[in-house]
Chain A
Amino acid sequence: MQIYLPIAEVSVNALLLLGLGGLVGVLSGMFGVGGGFLMTPLLFFIGIPPAVAVATEANQIVASSFSGVLAHLRRKTVDLKMGTVLLLGGLVGSALGVEIFRILRQMGQVELLVSLCYVIFLGVVGGLMFVESLGAIRRAGAATTAPRTPRRHHSWVHHLPLKMRFRQSQLYISAIPPFVIGLLVGILAAIMGVGGGFIMVPAMIYILGMPTKVVVGTSLFQIIFVTGFTTLMHATQNQTVDAVLALLLLIGGVVGAQIGARIGVRMKAEQLRILLALMVLGVCGKLLFDLVVTPSELFTIGEGGH
């Protein structure tokens, strides 16, 4: 069943899009990640122009993270104050990111930038996750209680000015690190078409020292606003948000996420993480391969003149 996407201006199979949305939804439900970092490259692979893929994926993440945050709000596991500081940074970052994206699009380098960002981030995150979960499995095999390093250690983060009290996170720290984290994630959201949870969650745990139970809800809270703002910026600056594409991905994604959540419960956390790590490294490898191997067509057609 072919469907013509009005903004992407390509005709694709609607069932394929629903399937992709579902597949990534299952994975995001299983692993508790947004899935943007998998969906955007998959959209490149099926021939959606990168500019449209990135902008539309941001729109889809608004839906999935909103559905997620509602559950967390009911459980009161969202630190709204921390979320707001992250958000302020995120909005600034997103505006910067969309501007960078627009300039590079004119220069014809946007595909390269997006691919490079993906290769670097997927490579680093996937690699770290793989090593960490392999270690966890080995420890479990040895059946020893591995000494855990105390999470809340005093570091440079605690010597910065502008201290604020974040009651829900039980923290009294400077507002600067969360603002900067939000800013960096905002830039990534705009350039890569991801929510940025896969970067933000580790940063919140390891750099800010937030308790794990509020991390996911707070990051989702921030992601809704940043991806919403990114969608708006891409829609007004680049006109690259495809409503039909977003809707198809969204339907598949929502259903998939619920199925995935049920599968996830039956699997061991370390096994899940090692699977996710392998998948992330797989996508990273494919993108890297495309950058390095001699392309069959050296020329590309870009729109418009200068």
Chain B
Amino acid sequence: MRALLLVLALAAPLRAEEVIGALSTNEVAITAGFNGTEIWIFGAVGRDAPVPEEAGPAHVVITVSGPPERVTVRRKERTFGIWVNRDSVEVDQAPSFYAVATTGDLTDVVSETERLRHKIGFDRAVRVVGAPETVEDPRAFGEALVRIRQANGLYSERSGAVDLRDETLFTTRIRLPANLVEGTYQARMFLVRDRAVVSVTEAEIDVAKAGLERLIYTTAHERPLLYGILSIAVALFAGWAASEVFRLLRR
């Protein structure tokens, strides 16, 4: 017990600064009209003591990452004149969505070791391990994944997008595109000084299909036979209805 108190007493000065954050919403519902949304992330830096004079300027790094997936990245090669998927590399962990917003340039603000430890940045969040030896240049596959997802609006890195006032209040906006995957999204807010993470806080965003979209999706995956029969029934009904309507119109 005394040892614990001692540790706490020692730790206290290190935690002189603490980041506190919140999101404009913790739930995103994908409905029929869903066309992407924007979440507003904001927070403040709490202090027990004044900042030491020699300390460098404060920076804030905010990341939002979607549920991690295993994906296969394939590379096309020209074979008999046409482009065919040839080499493939499995990416063990790739977030389905990844956004980084910072007060300054990411690599200037956070050191390489801290980025590795906290998995900040595309190269740290997307990990290609164990590519087959026959594949040339396996790193290109990880880079391609990032490039494609950046083009789709799923991955983004925006330096200077976090607005930090008086080293205390910060705010940013993160755009969630329409092609979101369902799951729990994690928002992390880092307070950084002298390229080292001083404090971190997390919040979760629940992304789920809702209403009719939810119903259709779960029926298709959990009761595929029923879904298939219903699809056909709707089609047959529509075909019959069309034939009847136009027969009446022709009279």
Residues of A in contact with B (beta carbons under 8 Å apart): 2-4, 6-7, 9-11, 59-60, 62-68, 70-71, 108-109, 112, 116, 228, 231-236, 239, 241, 243-244, 246-247, 250-251, 254, 257-258, 291-292, 294-295, 297-306
- On chain B, the residues within 8 Å of A292 by CB distance are 81-83
Are A241's CB and B144's CB within 8 A?
no
Given A4-B32, A246-B235, A298-B75; A306-B228 close (CB under 8 Å): no
Q: Report Cα–Cα, A257/B235, bound state, in Å.
A: 15
Are A11's CB and B34's CB within 8 A?
yes
- On chain B, the residues within 8 Å of A250 by CB distance are 235, 238
Are A231's CB and B231's CB within 8 A?
yes
Q: Report Cα–Cα, A116/B83, bound state, in Å.
A: 11
Q: Shortest CB–CB separation between residue A171 and chain B, in angstroms?
A: 28
Q: Shortest CB–CB separation between residue B41 and chain A, in angstroms?
A: 23
Tell me the total A-B contact number using a CB cutoff of 8 A.
183
9-residue interface stretch from B6-14, B55-63, B240-248: B240-248
Q: Report Cα–Cα, A35/B92, bound state, in Å.
A: 41
Are B33's CB and A4's CB within 8 A?
yes
Is B71 at the interface (CB under 8 A from chain A)?
yes
Taking a contact as CB atoms closer than 8 A, the residue among A6, A11, A64, A304 that contacts B209 in the complex is: A6
Are A291's CB and B82's CB within 8 A?
yes
Q: Which residues of B189-224 have CB atoms within 8 Å of chain A's CB atoms?
A: 209, 212-214, 216-217, 220-221, 224
Q: Report Cα–Cα, A11/B225, bound state, in Å.
A: 26
Taking a contact as CB atoms closer than 8 A, the residue among B30, B140, B148, B239 that contacts A66 in the complex is: B239
Closest to B34 in A: A4
- On chain B, the residues within 8 Å of A234 by CB distance are 228
Taking a contact as CB atoms closer than 8 A, the residue among B76, B232, B240 that contacts A232 in the complex is: B232
- On chain B, the residues within 8 Å of A297 by CB distance are 144, 147-148
Are B228's CB and A235's CB within 8 A?
yes
Given A235-B220, A243-B234; A302-B35 close (CB under 8 Å): no
Q: Which residues of B144-195 have CB atoms within 8 Å of chain A's CB atoms?
A: 144-145, 147-149, 178-179, 181
Are A305's CB and B72's CB within 8 A?
yes
23 intermolecular pairs with C-beta atoms under 8 Å apart: A4-B32, A7-B220, A9-B181, A11-B178, A59-B231, A63-B239, A66-B235, A66-B236, A67-B239, A108-B85, A228-B232, A228-B235, A236-B228, A241-B231, A243-B227, A254-B239, A257-B242, A292-B81, A299-B147, A300-B148, A301-B145, A302-B74, A306-B90
Is B111 at the interface (CB under 8 A from chain A)?
no
Closest to B152 in A: A301
Are A302's CB and B71's CB within 8 A?
yes
Given A2-B178, A243-B234, A292-B81; A235-B224 close (CB under 8 Å): yes
Closest to A241 in B: B231
Are B246's CB and A301's CB within 8 A?
no
Are B229's CB and A6's CB within 8 A?
no
- On chain B, the residues within 8 Å of A232 by CB distance are 225, 228-229, 232
- On chain A, the residues within 8 Å of B47 by CB distance are none
- On chain A, the residues within 8 Å of B44 by CB distance are none
Most buried by B among A109, A228, A243: A243
Are A59's CB and B232's CB within 8 A?
yes
- On chain B, the residues within 8 Å of A109 by CB distance are 84-85
- On chain B, the residues within 8 Å of A10 by CB distance are 178-179
Closest to A66 in B: B239
Closest to B79 in A: A112
Given A59-B235, A235-B227, 10 new contacts (CB under 8 A): A3-B33, A6-B212, A7-B217, A64-B239, A65-B239, A68-B239, A241-B231, A254-B239, A258-B242, A299-B144
Are A11's CB and B232's CB within 8 A?
no
Is B25 at the interface (CB under 8 A from chain A)?
no
Are B85's CB and A62's CB within 8 A?
no
